[in-house]
Amino acid sequence: MKCRKCRGEIPEESKFCNLCGAKQEVGRKPKNRGNGQGSVYQLPNKRWIAIKVIGYESRPDGTLKRVTRSKSGFRTKKEALDYLPQINTEQKIRAVSFHQVYEAWEPTHRAGKSTMDCYRAAVKYFHPIWHMKLMDITIDDLQECLDDCPKGRRTKENMRSLCGLLYKYAIPRHLATLNMGQYLIIRGGERGGKDALPDEAVSAISQGVGSVPGADYVLCQCFLGFRPSEFLALDAAQYNREERAFTGGAKTEAGRDRVVTVSPKIQPIVDRLTARKLSGPVFCGEDGKAMSIRAYRAMFYQVLEDCGIENPTETVDGVKRKKYTPHSCRHTFATLMKRVQAPDKDKLELMGHTSTEMLRHYQDVNFEDLRRITNAL
């Protein structure tokens, strides 16, 4: 055989060259594992450890920190490598809000100043869901923000593009599993009442109050018109007992929340929920703490089932969803207002539609005008 280095003739099966001393058997370099498959290394105590990144969580400054899962104590490297596939990656870390993902993504995206300025402007119109965890945001939440944007088509296209980029950033970091930006549709204004609960459903929910758990919450959302996230964020301190009105919802650029007077049809419920509470969430969980969107969504579907309301699953814009969702309560409120004779500006005030921000900024809110609408619902 020939020496692998000097190419001189040496005896067969020689471990070293008797001419130049070069070692003949060289261990092969192990193949690198793909991204996300984990790694192994030897610890100072000579034992081996298998480690894998399972997700990311947010720091107080908005940046993301890697979260790993590992197991050590292996006597050999092979034992550690064999264990790697067994490290559970199903439990992902997703406790990151929409805006935290945006703040982490922005410094990583390479684009011109004008493009980034467009994205900075677009993210403002997602303000109602900034605080929501990415895992809890549905296509309805995103579409609602897109529909409520008062700007033109170009801004809405930027909003859709931004969503796509944020989810592309989030998915490999185990913060999301589906890019919902691809399902957003650009269209004008609200979707109207196509997703509103029919009259018989509202009646069934009303009759279920007191016997069906959660029916009182769903009925209140139907007659207050707040988005699900805004509804769950209502605090007892925001309730004006004298005027019987809530001040809540996402902040507008004018710098104030909108006022929604309470309909007589839900006044007893609101009185009961705020009777002994000066602060804290009005529509809370059994423990008195704020209810998550996920928990409320599950309760909403259960209420409809318990009240005998059919809620089939259908495919909309390529996404499977229930015909009625918590957003249907907001559309129900808008549909009910169509039957009330009142100025459009007062109706839009109650809806908190962003296209009337400047109008609401220059005109004072009149409790009686708003009450005339909610009293007639």
List pLDDT tens digits, range 254-300. Answer: 335 788 999 999 999 999 999 988 899 999 988 888 888 888 988 99
60 pLDDT more than 70:
no
β-bridge mates for residue 8, sequence order? none
CB 40 within 8 A of CB 77: yes
- pLDDT band per the 50, 70, 90 thresholds, residue 27: low
Cβ count near 207 (within 10 Å): 13
Residue 307 has pLDDT above 90, yes or no: yes
pLDDT at 362 over 60: no
Tokens of 349: 């005030």
For residues 14-42, give the mean pLDDT. 74
Q: What ranges make up the beta strands (E) of 17-136?
A: 39-42, 48-58, 64-74
The one-letter amino acid code at 155 reads T
pLDDT at 164: 93
199-375 under CATH 1.10.443.10, yes or no: yes
DSSP E strands in the chain: the ranges are: 39-42, 48-58, 64-74, 239-240, 245-248, 258-261, 313-316, 319-322
* Region of 236 on the Ramachandran plot (φ > 0 left; ψ -120 to 50 alpha; else beta): alpha
CA distance 250 to 127: 7
Residue 139 is which amino acid?
A: I
pLDDT band at 68 (very low <50, low <70, confident <90, very high): confident
* Cβ–Cβ < 8 Å for 156, 354: no
Q: Is the pTM above the cut of 0.95?
A: no
* pLDDT, averaged across the chain: 81
Q: What is the topology classification, in CATH, of domain 98-183?
A: DNA polymerase; domain 1 (1.10.150)
What's the pLDDT score for residue 58?
Answer: 62
Q: Phi and psi of 40, rounded to 5°?
A: -130, 150
Helices (H) and strands (E) in the chain, counts: 14, 8
Q: Which long-range contacts (CB under 8 A, 24 or more apart) does 101-108 make?
A: 101/134, 101/166, 101/169, 101/170, 101/175, 102/162, 102/166, 103/62, 103/63, 104/58, 104/62, 104/63, 104/64, 104/169, 105/165, 105/166, 105/169, 108/169
Residue 205 Cα distances to 9, 300, 309, angstroms? 93, 11, 9
In this predicted structure, what is the pLDDT of residue 122? 93
The lowest-confidence range among 166-175, 237-246, 362-371 is: 362-371
Mean pLDDT of 307-320: 77
Q: How confident is the model at residue 210 (pLDDT cuts 50, 70, 90)?
A: very high
304 has a pLDDT exceeding 90 = yes
User: Does residue 179 contact residue 204 with C-beta atoms inside 8 Å?
Assistant: no
Q: What would the pLDDT profile of 223-237 be if each residue is shown by its tens digit? A: 998 888 889 989 999
pLDDT at 292: 84
Q: What confidence category does residue 59 fall into, taking pLDDT thresholds of 50, 70 and 90?
A: low
Euclidean distance between CA atoms 305 and 214, whole angstroms:
12
Confidence of residue 31 (pLDDT cuts 50, 70, 90): low
Domain boundaries along the sequence of the chain: 1-30, 39-86, 98-183, 199-375
Cα 136-138-143 angle, rounded to 5 deg: 140
pLDDT in tens, 142-171: 888 887 787 888 899 999 999 999 999 998
Report the pLDDT averaged over residues 233-244.
92
Report the pLDDT value the prediction gives residue 185, as an integer from 0 to 100. 86
What sign does the dihedral 296-139-168-187 (CA atoms) show?
negative
The reported pLDDT for the residue numbered 35 is 64
Confidence of residue 222 (pLDDT cuts 50, 70, 90): very high
Structure letter (DSSP) for residue 150 = -
